[in-house]
Structure 1
């Protein structure tokens, strides 16, 4: 089966984790612009829902870490969230704004709350962005619901789906790996899970045999990036897209 358009370009891939926040606040349009200016194509980001039911780009449910104030994303409307100063006068953008500002970018979107499912899917459909969006969640219920509401998007394994695949791969049950990952386009995983090195060569082969790409997070050390890419992973999710681009060039 041909790859989803989100993954159609030749890899390996750099997925800029919340953009590039070395000179911009994370998960802002400026952070995304800095990452894309490096020539990469994929942005990893997160969505919550505002009080008025808009999909807004934010990793945390609470505002303290990024905005230095109490309260939660869900307590403010999208306009108020956009006026917050996350640093340098940059506010919390809506998913609509990001999809519109960067019409060629691929967005890897982690749906962080049940309230964000419908507005996220609506934004993707509104911008006809299904070909350039991957929707996922640690929760299988959220992941499946979001994908149902935005048919045609790519998707990666939830926590439970990946755990099942990992354990099956560990004992060599490849039919069960394929069953656990059926209908998915990628697994996006840490280097270790359940006490297991997730990219050990036999496991990596099992995931690839199931027809999914393997993206590893969150890798910021160039030596580790190089080792993983040489091992055969398909992408790294990183806070340091600038360093990852240099690693890719050195491997070309």
Structure 2
């Protein structure tokens, strides 16, 4: 008889909902227990593996480039695989425990969460073997796709600087994106087919004593003819759980926004309401996470019953099953009152911490990233002049060397993005640069812009604005550090200059040449002990500039500058966290944000903090 996915889905859904209602307490507690187990296992494991990578690197701190290279090495890939294997194993064991509860209920018996944990432990070795087979298969499938992706990158995207491809999107870039899209589509189809075929492998392993080596094959056989039903449920489950998460986040954000809108409210009121908002938000996220895992188990069990099962009446769970008259979680009036009191205390504590963390004074410098590059061509005299007009404290620029030894201001390795010219900077002379228009692509009014010498920029900025110099390295540098030192000192700008680089060796060399200069390390990802790095400041990706990171850097005597921050919400969030400088393409907007924050009260600043946390619209906006 032909498969009727709609009828099948209705029957499975009705029974899955019934099973969930009958066992939700045990399912929820067991799911929560495994979340705790995952935290206990994965947190130290990731920390140990990361520390191992740092030790093997021979350095006390790693930047994004270092980490990328480490993860591409065999030991780095091994660390990723080990972490992924543990994560998959915990998920499989969690589903094992949840399926044990549902199976016990099918036999009119009740399995407590302790019994469910015992059931998972009793089957752990078989489950680990099954997970290992799936992981090996995944790695073997991913390998050719990774090779093709790498060959595509080298063939299509390695001739010019990557920023040219990202900005201009030439035909070869579109071709590479299309190849990547096809690879993802084919990989997705392969994974979906495999997952739908293997859906019954875990129940077969647990309830029919099928060996790990045979469970995947037999699951495929039993799924034959029912894949449409399985796909329908998987897609529906993903849509439903994702929709719940979005709705919950939106509702909590909207309610939190309403609760703290009153700028005249007392700080005590704000303390409680902010704490309640954050507590409800956290509770909603945990609840939805538990719903996701427990409802999947209910769906899996009933798909197995309807389309993949053998004789469940022969199942024996032994001592893992508790007595049928065991009481579940009791909810009484007294317990609700106690929970309410504890909730208020927790909410007040969280709110008090949030209130205390709001800075009332801003001490931050505005750094124009490659000049005012949102309104003028980057790293041009026009962009630098506009940054001065917009009130920036510093301009940030990039320097490299030409073939004839001049230090010029340029970010990319070539001129494709700015001028459509493939000439590499290390092959160019000063005379060559005078012929390359780097402004017309932005607007005709910038047609006269050419790549400036560092000396010309310093001369124009002297007495008007500070200059933050980033040393760029593409493997063709000659004596960049010494030449930068010579130019800065020749122009008399030593006291108005900062220097930084992504390359640690360059930072060390510059610091050794001029120990009294303020020199920093540029990072987009960080790992290691900040106390062991000898720099004066860190220029970091705003994505990991947390309060704890900033506090740690300050405790180690380093300033923290964040990049590249171009929206008012992120600007305000970073200022509130205590950064020392904002690198932005829009210095005028940064000045406006600082001006508006200066006029705000503590409750209004707290509103900004919540805007960042809950993704609501802040009171600061572009005008």
- Same fold, TM exceeding 0.5? yes
Q: Normalized against structure 1, the TM-score is what?
A: 0.83
SS at match of 1:189: strand
Mapped to 2, the partners of 1:145 and 1:251 lie a distance apart of 40
Richer in strand (by share)? 1
Task: Pick from 454, 459, 463 the counterpart of residue 95 of structure 1.
Answer: 454
**Quick check: 1:204 aligned with 2:550?**
yes
Partner residue, 1:27: 379
Is the CA contact (8 Å cut-off) linking 2:391 and 2:587 kept in structure 1?
no
SS at match of 1:142: helix
Partner residue, 2:408: 56
Aligned length: 225
Query: 1:44-87, CA deviations, whole angstroms, 9 ceiling, x for partnerless residues?
Result: 11001011101000000111111111111122212331442111
**Quick check: 1:167 aligned with 2:525?**
no
Residue pairs, 1:1-252, within 5 angstroms: 11-87=363-439, 88-104=447-463, 105-113=465-473, 114-115=477-478, 116-159=480-523, 163=526, 166-168=527-529, 177-180=530-533, 182=534, 184-192=535-543, 198-252=544-598
Richer in helix (by share)? 2
Is the CA contact (8 Å cut-off) linking 1:14 and 1:241 kept in structure 2?
yes
Is the CA contact (8 Å cut-off) linking 1:83 and 1:92 kept in structure 2?
no
Partner residue, 1:3: none
Greater RCO, CA 8 A, separation 6+: 1
Mapped to 2, the partners of 1:227 and 1:22 lie a distance apart of 21
Q: Normalized against structure 2, the TM-score is what?
A: 0.35
SS at match of 1:156: strand
Shift of 1:239: 0.9
Mapped to 2, the partners of 1:90 and 1:11 lie a distance apart of 34
Mapped to 2, the partners of 1:247 and 1:80 lie a distance apart of 41
Shift of 1:39: 1.9
Structure-2 change in CA distance of 1:92 and 1:42 (3 Å)? same
Mapped to 2, the partners of 1:134 and 1:250 lie a distance apart of 28
Structure-2 change in CA distance of 1:111 and 1:221 (3 Å)? same
Is the CA contact (8 Å cut-off) linking 2:400 and 2:408 kept in structure 1?
yes
Mapped to 2, the partners of 1:128 and 1:179 lie a distance apart of 32
Is the CA contact (8 Å cut-off) linking 1:45 and 1:107 kept in structure 2?
yes
Is the CA contact (8 Å cut-off) linking 2:542 and 2:563 kept in structure 1?
yes
Structure 1 vs Structure 2 CA RMSD: 1.9
Shift of 1:30: 1.0
Structure 2 unpaired stretches of 5+: 1-361, 440-446, 599-623
Mapped to 2, the partners of 1:231 and 1:67 lie a distance apart of 39
SS at match of 2:589: helix
Query: 1:105-157, CA deviations, whole angstroms, 9 ceiling, x for partnerless residues?
Result: 21111111333323212111211222111111111111222333345321112
Query: 1:202-244, CA deviations, whole angstroms, 9 ceiling, x for partnerless residues?
Result: 2221111111111110111111101110121111111111211
Structure 1 unpaired stretches of 5+: 1-9, 169-176, 193-197
Mapped to 2, the partners of 1:40 and 1:240 lie a distance apart of 9
Mapped to 1, the partners of 2:452 and 2:483 lie a distance apart of 14
Mapped to 2, the partners of 1:52 and 1:73 lie a distance apart of 10
Bigger Rg over Cα: 2
SS at match of 2:469: strand
Is the CA contact (8 Å cut-off) linking 1:20 and 1:240 kept in structure 2?
yes
Is the CA contact (8 Å cut-off) linking 1:143 and 1:158 kept in structure 2?
no
Is the CA contact (8 Å cut-off) linking 2:395 and 2:466 kept in structure 1?
yes
Mapped to 2, the partners of 1:153 and 1:83 lie a distance apart of 35
Partner residue, 2:147: none
